[in-house]
């Protein structure tokens, strides 16, 4: 009886493995994971030298993992078991607190902070020092600032991080904004803040730079938004709503993309159905953008060095400026910036999140 039972288990196991293998190689391979915001591994090229040096097998293992049948469903099942049955507090470093997902960032990475401040020093010394530019910086706190301690999760010392930056960037004027924010101002399924919730933040920055506050916006909602944490956590979180703020002045602006020479509007609704719907704001991650505002004051310009948080904030800073240039040094060497703008008497805003400061290796 025991032998027959063992044989039955082995047969069922072989059928499952065999069936999954047949399904794997019979189905069409996916190209991207919309939930995880990344490309999936494709079947690797078979060459003798790649087999010998191990590259083929390494890529083949990744291929099996990425293309396994019902992969997303199995990831969701695993996450639910870990959270609900085993009461695990996070999944791959992502936790849920007050219905909002965030990723653990437990300590200050000093080498990253030093790299960040050295990049800012370089930009200032090369382009801004000795000019009539008015230079400001503002650091966006990530969601952990509001959620981690409350939920008992490890988190970096934000007071110390801000203190370090204040010391190192003392030659710039700091614009503090963290006191204007709360966890509710961020998407529950994503890293970013909600544009409709940061009008007061934008107006604080505007007023610190000598501009009037702007509040006359019309909200336009595009629909459900599943942020990056939705896919990474694999948990059944409720979707956010993607909304943008507009008015006649914003509608009249044009945005030039220096990477491909295209011209778009401030909000690119075509991106809503793309890999990352957040790219609706200024078409997403681009090395250099130039926004022309025909209703702005002639000759009044703003330059923003930024990460992705700037995509949704900068539209709220446009009013009054005739030209706004956005530069993302994750995608362009700083030495090339002079090809796109000349510094003289602009307002200059350095705008980065604590996430970028603490993980700044992508800054060139």
Q: How is 264-298 classified by DSSP, letter by letter?
A: E-SB-GGGGGSS-GGGGBTTSS-SEEEEE-TTSEE
| pLDDT value, residue 80 | 58
Residue 12 pLDDT > 60: no
pLDDT of 274 reads 83
For range 273-284, the mean pLDDT: 89
Segment 178-192 shows an average pLDDT of 95
- Identify the residue with better confidence: 23 or 8: 8
Q: What is the mean pLDDT of residues 147-161?
A: 91
Could you tell me how many residues make up the chain? 364
pLDDT band at 229, cuts 50/70/90? Answer: confident
Going by C-alpha positions, the residue among 270, 314, 274, 272 that lies closest to residue 290 is 314
Domain boundaries, the chain: 13-97, 102-357
Q: Cβ of 193: how many Cβ atoms within 10 Å?
A: 21
Please report the pLDDT score of residue 275 as a whole number.
79
pLDDT tops 50 at residue 74:
yes
Average pLDDT, the chain: 84
- Whether the CB-CB separation of 358 and 113 falls below 8 Å is answered with yes
Q: Please tell me the predicted confidence (pLDDT) of residue 16.
A: 45
Between 245 and 18, residue with greater pLDDT: 245
Dist CA 97 CA 256 (whole Å): 39
pLDDT of residue 81: 57
Distances in Å between the Cα of 158 and the Cα atoms of 144, 154, 190, 289 are 10, 12, 20, 31
Give percent of the chain with pLDDT exceeding 90: 59
Which percentage of the chain shows pLDDT scores above 70?
74
Q: In the predicted model, is pLDDT for residue 31 greater than 90? A: no
What is the radius of gyration, based on Cα positions, of the chain?
24
- The listed range with the strongest mean pLDDT (237-241, 258-262, 288-292) is 288-292
> What is the average pLDDT across 200-219?
95
Work out the average pLDDT over 193-199.
Answer: 97
Mean pLDDT computed over 13-32:
52
**How much is the average pLDDT of 115-125?**
96
- Cα 258 from chain centroid (whole Å): 21
pLDDT band at 23 (very low <50, low <70, confident <90, very high): very low
Given a cut of 90, is residue 95 above it in pLDDT? no
Q: 173: closest CA among 204, 143, 142, 213? A: 204
pLDDT in tens, 330-347: 999 999 999 998 899 999
- The pLDDT, as a whole number, for residue 235 is 72
Q: How confident is the model at residue 96 (pLDDT cuts 50, 70, 90)?
A: confident
Helix, strand, coil abundance in the chain, percent, nearest 5: 40, 20, 35
CA distance 348 to 172: 10
- Pairing label, strands 218-225, 240-246: antiparallel
Q: Maximum Cα–Cα distance for the chain, whole Å?
A: 90
- The pLDDT tens digits of the residues spanning 133-150 come to 999 999 999 999 999 988
How far is Cα 308 from Cα 285, in angstroms, rounded to an integer?
A: 7
Q: Taking residues 187-212, what's their average pLDDT?
A: 96
pLDDT of residue 331: 93
- Tell me what pLDDT residue 27 has: 53
pLDDT for the residue numbered 189: 92
């Amino acid at each position: 009886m025991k032998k027959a039972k063992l044989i039955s288990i082995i047969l069922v196991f072989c059928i499952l493995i065999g069936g999954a293998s047949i399904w794997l190689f019979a189905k069409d391979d996916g190209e991207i994971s919309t939930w995880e915001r990344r490309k999936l591994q494709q079947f690797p090229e078979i060459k003798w030298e790649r087999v010998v040096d191990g590259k083929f097998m390494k890529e083949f293992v990744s291929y099996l993992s990425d293309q396994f049948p019902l992969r997303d469903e199995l990831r969701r099942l695993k996450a639910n078991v870990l959270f609900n049955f085993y009461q695990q507090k996070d999944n791959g470093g992502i936790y849920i607190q007050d219905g909002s997902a965030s990723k653990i960032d437990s300590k200050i990475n000093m080498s990253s902070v030093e790299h960040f401040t050295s990049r800012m020093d370089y930009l200032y010394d090369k382009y801004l020092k000795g000019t009539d530019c008015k230079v400001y910086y503002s650091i966006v706190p990530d969601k952990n600032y509001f959620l981690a301690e409350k939920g008992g999760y490890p988190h970096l010392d934000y007071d110390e991080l801000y203190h370090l930056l204040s010391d190192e960037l003392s030659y710039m004027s700091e614009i503090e904004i963290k006191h204007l924010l709360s966890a509710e101002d961020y998407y529950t399924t994503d890293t970013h803040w909600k544009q409709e919730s940061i009008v007061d933040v934008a107006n604080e920055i505007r007023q610190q730079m000598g501009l009037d506050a702007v509040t006359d916006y019309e909200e336009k909602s595009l629909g459900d938004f599943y942020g990056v944490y939705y896919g990474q956590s694999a948990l059944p979180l409720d979707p956010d709503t993607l909304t943008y703020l507009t008015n006649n002045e914003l509608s009249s602006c044009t945005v030039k993309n220096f990477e491909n020479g295209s011209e778009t509007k401030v909000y690119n609704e075509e991106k809503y159905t793309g890999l990352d719907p957040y790219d609706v704001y200024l078409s997403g991650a681009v090395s250099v953008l130039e926004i022309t505002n025909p209703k702005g004051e002639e000759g009044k310009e703003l330059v923003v060095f930024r990460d992705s948080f700037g995509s949704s904030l900068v539209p709220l800073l446009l009013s009054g400026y005739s030209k706004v240039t956005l530069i993302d040094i994750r995608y362009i060497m700083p030495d090339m910036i002079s090809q796109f703008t000349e510094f003289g008497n602009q307002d200059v805003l350095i705008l980065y999140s604590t996430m970028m400061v603490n993980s700044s290796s992508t800054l060139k």
